[in-house]
A and B are shown apart, each in its own frame.
Chain A
Amino acid sequence: MSAEPHAIETRGLSLWYGSFQALFDVSTDIRSGIITSLIGPSGCGKTTLLRCFNRVNERYGNVRTAGEIRILGESIYDPDVSLIELRKAVGMVFQRPNPLPISVYENVVFGLRVHTPRTDLKRSVLDEAVEKALTEVGLWKDLKDRLKTKATGLLLEQQQKLCLARLLPLKPEVILMDEPASALDVGGTRAIEELMFELAGKYTIVIVTHNMAQARRASDECIFMLMGKVVEHARTEDLFLNPQNPKTAEYIEGRYA
């Protein structure tokens, strides 16, 4: 864990898709080692904000940003920042589990293969990484005899855990989750949330969710966004029990969605 109190800091962050402005002057600090949830109605910019943190939104076409983002104290828009290194440190899990159509084993070591010269990748190193990552997400026991099976044939819950496991060999500091449980059933959702609790502390987790109950259950701090702006950022308990902004109160009472 890094010594920075805030894993992510944004200052005056604005973002445009073409001429459409999706984020307005977002300044917020996300603390290291805890789970922070981003909530708000559809189109409020929470996924956009999440995608800023590893600059992956630049791969989606005509995106322009202004302002500053610091991850672990480093400004990620500095010219000497390598997107490859940044994305190693800041991994992302998606709404639909997206295992690659290759074996479980190859999915887990995919990141290592991408980042390490082939000659340095000894079988033993890979084997160890696979066992460690799968153990960390609680899949090792179930899958250790099925490492060669295709990842796309697993249960959705296993697929999503595998997607998490795929990030771990790269030793990320921050894990971004974009509605990671919305494709899963109740049991799967619970399993993912429990996994988040286990990983928190070791990693800084930021989760986007539509599900307010989930934000409430599974996050330490909560950021409420509306129309591309951060309305309120507080401890989850405080935000739900004692919202400071009337708009937050209206949203969590379900008056708009």
Chain B
Amino acid sequence: MAGRFAKTPHIARKEIAESVARSVFGLMSAAMIVPLVLIVGYLVVLAWPALSLEFLLDVPKRGMTDGGIWPAFVGTLYLVGISLLVSTPIGVLAAIYLNEYAKDNWFNRLVNLAVINLAGVPSIVHALFGLGAFVYAARFGYSILSASLTLAIMTLPVIIASTREALASVPMAFREACWNVGATRWQTVRAVVLPNSISGILTGVILQVSRAAGETAPVMFTGAVFFKAVQRGDLFPYGLGDQCMALSMHLYTLATQVPNVKEALPYATAVVLLGSVLLVNATAIVLRIWLRNRKKW
């Protein structure tokens, strides 16, 4: 005689379905880790013979088949840095306007639509746009300036979107409190909205660093070159109007364009690129945690 609360066959079937669902979902999320571990592990193992501080600081030698990646590393720093110097202020200020000032009218809906669509444009199209707009139309030529501006255009919509999200997460009640003592919108933004959303804004911006650093097409079309002679370890080898090397482009070159490259070189380049990006992302996370612990509401 089964007990009063014993399971019926129907319930037993449901329990099996439940445990199957649980393991399938769990397996899928575990599967996320596998490619990351494999990629990083594979790269590091193959890159190992070439990895050293010397590799980072040295310039390419013997027709790119030996030596280091310093010109490309610095080039990427330049491109990413300048592009964010341009896109961050524009993006953050535009987002503040859209989130804090704009009313729901046709103009702002148009801006929103533009932002969303711009975010979905493939990078190769940005590259072509940069070539036409900055290299030719604006006559900046193939240069760091053109390449950085192209990257800026590419990262701008995402910065706007992530900043808006950060601003929107500040409780409306804080704004109401300000408005009702007669604060202007700008005073409200400065005194309350920005201090409470800065961690989210910064995270959004920093995440774009990795995107800008990794893209190849936009810089290849507008200012990154195959090779550029630079002093070993020189921190300021380039001017705004110069062409430069870039990590992403360099990786492409080593992997496809140069015969007889030491096998470890492209992999080591990839490790440096990936490592820098992960480092920057990790900084973003730490910064976010630190700022968040400071605010607490």
Contacts and interface: CB of A to CB of B under 8 A. Distances in A.
Contacts of B8: none
B181 A167 contact: yes
26 contacts: A59-B179, A61-B103, A61-B104, A62-B103, A62-B104, A83-B182, A87-B180, A87-B181, A87-B182, A91-B181, A98-B171, A98-B177, A100-B177, A100-B191, A100-B192, A101-B174, A101-B295, A110-B191, A111-B182, A113-B191, A114-B178, A114-B187, A114-B191, A150-B296, A152-B297, A163-B177
A60 to B, nearest CB: 9
Interface of B: 103-104, 171, 173-184, 187, 191-192, 196, 295-297
A146 B158 CA distance: 42
B182 A85 contact: yes
Chain A interface residue number, banded: 20 to 34
A147 to B, nearest CB: 18
A61 B175 CA distance: 14
A101 B196 contact: yes
Given A59-B179, A87-B180, 16 more contacts: A56-B176, A56-B179, A61-B103, A83-B182, A84-B182, A85-B182, A87-B179, A87-B182, A91-B180, A98-B171, A98-B173, A98-B177, A115-B182, A166-B181, A167-B180, A170-B181
A100 B174 contact: yes
Which of B175, B182, B192: most chain A Cβ within 10 A? Answer: B182
Contacts of B171: 98
A20 to B, nearest CB: 14
A166 B103 contact: no
A62 B103 CA distance: 7
A84 B297 CA distance: 27
A30 interface: no
Contacts of A83: 182
A92 interface: yes
A114 B181 contact: yes
Contacts of A84: 182-184
A100 B178 CA distance: 9
B177 A99 contact: yes
A163 B181 CA distance: 10
Nearest to B181: A111
B194 to A, nearest CB: 13
Contacts of A91: 180-181
B174 A98 contact: yes
Contacts of B174: 98, 100-101
Contacts of A61: 103-104
A134 to B, nearest CB: 16
A167 B180 CA distance: 8
Contacts of B181: 87-88, 91, 110-111, 114-115, 166-167, 170
